[in-house]
Structure 1
């Protein structure tokens, strides 16, 4: 597991994240829920001041969960599925450790938690990225 900062520890131990984990455990097998969550994540990520690198990795993460929800990709360990869904639920919730309604600092906890998740499941993301590249249909040069 990735190294945690005091902010991450505070988030992971918060009532908000524990509730997100419970909801993730109940909902991670529901494709309709996952696809709706992806829509909310993309909408939320377009609102905030998210740095480019986080935006790119969030795009990879949403493609991963979409492929999982559609049954196209099942190489993701269940623990990573639930953790990812919990983080995404937390991300789309405006009420959390640092409320998103606060200008400028509102997304600080969300970004910190996303960066922590990217580090925690980096091997899973790398495996998915390889799988995703292999799915691309080669263009016939003729």
Structure 2
């Protein structure tokens, strides 16, 4: 697991994140819920000033969960599925450790948590990237 900063520890131990984890555990097997969550994540990510690298990796993460929800990709360990869904639920929630309604600093906890997730599941993201690239290669019918 990735090294945690005091802010990440505070977020992970918060009531907000624990509730997101509970909801993720109940909902991560529901494709409709996951696809709706991805729509909310994309809408939320377009609102804030998110660093380009985070935006790019968030795009990868949404493609991963979309492929998982559609049953196209199942190489993601269940623990990573639940953790990712919990982080995305936390991300789209305007009320959390640092409320998103606060200008500029409102997304600080969300971005910190996303960066922590990217580090924590980096091997899973790398595996998905390889799989995704292979899907784009047309198969020669010979």
Provide TM-score, normalisation by structure 2: 0.97
* Alpha-carbon distance between aligned partners in 2 of 1:14 and 1:140, rounded to the nearest angstrom: 52
Q: Deviations over 1:5-53 (max 9, x none)?
A: 0000000000000000000000000000000000000000000010000
Q: C-alpha root-mean-square deviation of aligned residues, in Å?
A: 1.9
How far the C-alpha of 1:140 sits from its partner, in A, is 8.8
Unaligned runs of 5+ in 1: none
How far the C-alpha of 1:139 sits from its partner, in A, is 9.5
How far the C-alpha of 1:141 sits from its partner, in A, is 14
Tell me the matched-pair count: 142
**Residue 116 (structure 1) aligned with residue 116 (structure 2):** yes
* Alpha-carbon distance between aligned partners in 1 of 2:13 and 2:100, rounded to the nearest angstrom: 18
Q: How does 1:65-76 map to 2 (within 5 A)?
A: 65-76=65-76
TM-aligned CA distance change 1:141 to 1:48, over 3 Å: farther
Q: Deviations over 1:57-110 (max 9, x none)?
A: 000000000000000000000000000000000000000000000000000000
Runs of 4+ in 1 over 4 A off after TM superposition: 139-142
How far the C-alpha of 1:138 sits from its partner, in A, is 3.5
Provide TM-score, normalisation by structure 1: 0.97
* Alpha-carbon distance between aligned partners in 2 of 1:30 and 1:21, rounded to the nearest angstrom: 15
